[in-house]
Structure 1
Amino acid sequence: MGIYLDYAATTPVKPNVVEAMMDIYQNHYGNPSSIHNIGRDARKYLDDARRTVAEKLGAQPNEVIFTSGATESNNTAIKGLAYANRHKGNHLITTKIEHHSVLHVFEQLEKEGFKVTYLDVNEEGLVGLEQLESALTEDTILVSIMFVNNEVGTVQPMFDIDHLLQDKDIYFHVDAVQAIGHLPVDFHELDIDTMSLTAHKFGGPKGVGTLLVKNATDIQFSQLGGEQEVKRRAGTENIPQIVGLSEALKTATDELDDNNLHLMNLKNQFLVALQDRAIPFELNGSMIETTGHIVNLYFPFIDVETLLTLLDLANIYVSSGSACTAGSTDPSHVISAMYDKERAFHSIRFSFNEMTTEREIKQVVAELHKIYHKFKKEEV
């Protein structure tokens, strides 16, 4: 298969997750809204999954809403909070480095008359707390900031942001997609109002996610139909995928410490090996406020499209940024916001998980060394 280093885009489904899902497909196929025995059997698995998600994320079971993924969760939270609280104000705040499932929602809300402040970040990808504080106004009703950036791995100061918003009538939404399995996440300890995640980033199936909504949050839900998810999201729940999500979340959180140690070791070995080979590069982001699974590097000697092609031909699979923008000719908006567009045209993302080995890292560095010397000779 080659060497897959694009785990921030998606992860393979873990064997225990597949096993749990197949059991539901084959043996517990009832509609959880049906009142007969087969339906009640399916309902039990739905309720158990909801309790597992709540327990692992520090929430109450009735604060867990199952969705089709983080895009739906982000859309539901941001639009729902904005529409429900427009009578209080029309000012919203986010950052320039959010995922497009957040940024495009804010852009749409601007067209509908909301005012949006897009916060800058520094070269480590961090939001300035003073900048956030100065952006707050009497009309601010929502702040949305992602926990871990999906392109550079920077971890935002969530507790500081939460402290800044305390005692203010402002909702706080967090896209926590890249944090799950890499950082301890406690919904109530962080005092977040809404939080989104998706299963396929931590060994679960695609097409299922979760939106956590704190009790008493004033939010408008738009998906109408049946009374599923306590009337918050109409549509028959996909029990196999929901069970898969809960099983994957349980594994990811239970193995978090061991996996993090492995990932940080891989990240350090990768950077040291590049230095030892004298390959010119610079790290995009922070070496301190970061997770171990994402490394974004600037290679001045080659453009990103050429490098991606050469690595692909060598059966090494990486990306230039979010998989959701694949096919776009625009440079990464994250790297552009942190540095400039020119740097973005020469930057690439490597992302690891617990299955990545030291041998694979050495092979990737060796291939990058070959590519560098090939281009070095051509320049001469």
Structure 2
Amino acid sequence: MEEPIYLDNGTLARPSDYLFNQMTPFSKRHWHAVTAPYLQGKEPFTSINRSLDTLRTFLGAGKRDLLHFCPSGGHAISEVYHSAYADHIAQNGKNHILTTDLEEAPIHLLGEQFEKLGLFQKKIPLNEKGQVTRENLEKALSPKTGLVSLSWANALTGVIHPIWELAELCKEKGILFHIDASAILGKLYFKFEELPIDYLTFEGTMIHGPKGSGTLLVKRGVDFTLSVPEGMEGTDLNVAALVGLGIATQELDASFDHLCMETARLRDHLEEGIVRAIPEATVHFKEAERLPNTTVISFPGVTSELLTFHLKERGVFASFGGGRHQKLEHLLAACGIEGKSALSFTLSRDTTEEEINRAIGHIVDAAQKCRTFSNGVAL
């Protein structure tokens, strides 16, 4: 029986066996409260500090930048919104938050939640490539704008925003700027201390990290208060997940060149193979700057749900959104694209050429059969 072909790494990326093995002792043996004084200087305390240092180095954070381990990327974003409100918006009255229609659930849900406190979440229009431009952001700003909250790149569409330009504009206007870097980590080199942004968050499972892991970075000098006072959560620190996330970032750093070159080549090979067999298929966002492992392809005459089901039956896993993500159809609609027949394919550093060759055959065959179903012809 053939091994499944997992092309849904924009939803969750599998941790390595090495990572799982290194986490195990911290789940089995080091279960004590990390705040206990008799553990100072011993395991698991030394491993906690080592993992935090690894995260800080990987993200290029300065010594005075605040780094906080979180139980998820969504939790990290929640901390950003709580502090932005309590430490800034409630003081200065700038109660408009700007974001886009492309954002994942945590940003949209938090925006809706904070509307009860008098905040207003507004949307920044996108260009034809699905990107936020400096010009469009500047038009959306108002004297009441207090926070801009964006994902650096969308995990399903692969579209990358020009974050440097947007961050510089926010800095000029004195507006807090938050980016979620979950989809971009390991695919674009940067140093947090050099970025003109205030907050950076990411979800661990998006970078081959363990479930129950995420990170928040706050730029030095930015007033910040945790929603739960530091120290109250000490006994609940998931040491195994923190250690696992540290390992995940080391592995991601080691695979940077492979992901940006070989995985990008395999992504292009997947696109070319599908379009060669199905000329009507459309590859979206090829003209935009996009992630090296992500492609969105529409299959005319086929619904994405039906195609996904038939691919799953063949052991090929792709995505049309849902869960933490918005539906792909809605994301494409925000970019002016009809997306009822679109699927997102996201490769990983572990994806092989043999898998892509098999995937092309399965995808082409399933799409052609689904089109036959749609035409009402029984097989």
TM-score by length of 1: 0.91
Confirm or deny that 1:199 pairs with 2:204: yes
Which of 179, 187, 193 in structure 1 is aligned with 2:184?
Answer: 179
What is the one-letter code of the residue matched to 1:45? S
What is the one-letter code of the residue matched to 1:83? A
- Following superposition, the deviation at residue 345 of structure 1 comes to 1.8
For residues 146 and 236 of structure 1, the distance between their equivalents in structure 2, rounded to whole angstroms, comes to 28
* Kept after mapping to 2: 8 A contact 1:93/1:118: yes
1:163 is matched with: 168
- Following superposition, the deviation at residue 178 of structure 1 comes to 0.6
* Kept after mapping to 2: 8 A contact 1:99/1:150: no
2:75 is matched with: 72
5 Å matches for 1:88-103?
88=92, 89-103=94-108
RMSD value, Cα: 2.2
* Kept after mapping to 1: 8 A contact 2:35/2:234: no
For residues 82 and 368 of structure 2, the distance between their equivalents in structure 1, rounded to whole angstroms, comes to 50
2:349 is matched with: 354
5 Å matches for 1:282-301?
282-301=282-301
- Following superposition, the deviation at residue 35 of structure 1 comes to 0.8
* Kept after mapping to 1: 8 A contact 2:62/2:193: no
* Kept after mapping to 2: 8 A contact 1:6/1:318: yes
Which of 134, 142, 147 in structure 1 is aligned with 2:147?
Answer: 142
5 Å matches for 1:23-34?
23-34=25-36
User: Percent same amino acid at aligned positions?
Assistant: 24
> Structure 1 residues 115, 375: CA separation in 2 closer, same or farther (over 3 Å shift)?
closer
> Structure 1 residues 373, 99: CA separation in 2 closer, same or farther (over 3 Å shift)?
closer
For residues 309 and 74 of structure 2, the distance between their equivalents in structure 1, rounded to whole angstroms, comes to 28
What is the one-letter code of the residue matched to 2:238? N
| Alpha-carbon displacement from aligned partner over 1:270-307 (angstroms, at most 9, x marks no partner) | 11111221342212324440111111111112011111
- Following superposition, the deviation at residue 42 of structure 1 comes to 1.8
5 Å matches for 1:245-284?
245-284=245-284
What is the one-letter code of the residue matched to 2:335? M
| Alpha-carbon displacement from aligned partner over 1:336-371 (angstroms, at most 9, x marks no partner) | 21125xx22211111100111112212222122223
What is the one-letter code of the residue matched to 2:97? L
For residues 251 and 169 of structure 2, the distance between their equivalents in structure 1, rounded to whole angstroms, comes to 33
TM-score by length of 2: 0.91
What secondary structure is seen at the aligned counterpart in 2 of 1:197? Answer: strand
For residues 258 and 303 of structure 1, the distance between their equivalents in structure 2, rounded to whole angstroms, comes to 33
* Kept after mapping to 2: 8 A contact 1:28/1:42: yes
Confirm or deny that 1:332 pairs with 2:335: no
* Kept after mapping to 2: 8 A contact 1:28/1:38: no
- Following superposition, the deviation at residue 208 of structure 1 comes to 0.9
Aligned pairs, number: 370
| Alpha-carbon displacement from aligned partner over 1:316-354 (angstroms, at most 9, x marks no partner) | 11110254259xxx66331121125xx222111111001
For residues 208 and 278 of structure 1, the distance between their equivalents in structure 2, rounded to whole angstroms, comes to 40
For residues 255 and 241 of structure 2, the distance between their equivalents in structure 1, rounded to whole angstroms, comes to 21
What runs of 5+ residues in structure 2 fail to find an aligned partner?
A: none
> Structure 1 residues 308, 37: CA separation in 2 closer, same or farther (over 3 Å shift)?
closer
For residues 235 and 77 of structure 1, the distance between their equivalents in structure 2, rounded to whole angstroms, comes to 23
* Kept after mapping to 1: 8 A contact 2:104/2:325: no
For residues 66 and 374 of structure 1, the distance between their equivalents in structure 2, rounded to whole angstroms, comes to 47
For residues 244 and 54 of structure 2, the distance between their equivalents in structure 1, rounded to whole angstroms, comes to 11
Q: Which runs of 4+ in 1 moved over 6 A?
A: none
For residues 67 and 322 of structure 2, the distance between their equivalents in structure 1, rounded to whole angstroms, comes to 26
5 Å matches for 1:301-340?
301-324=301-324, 332-340=329-337
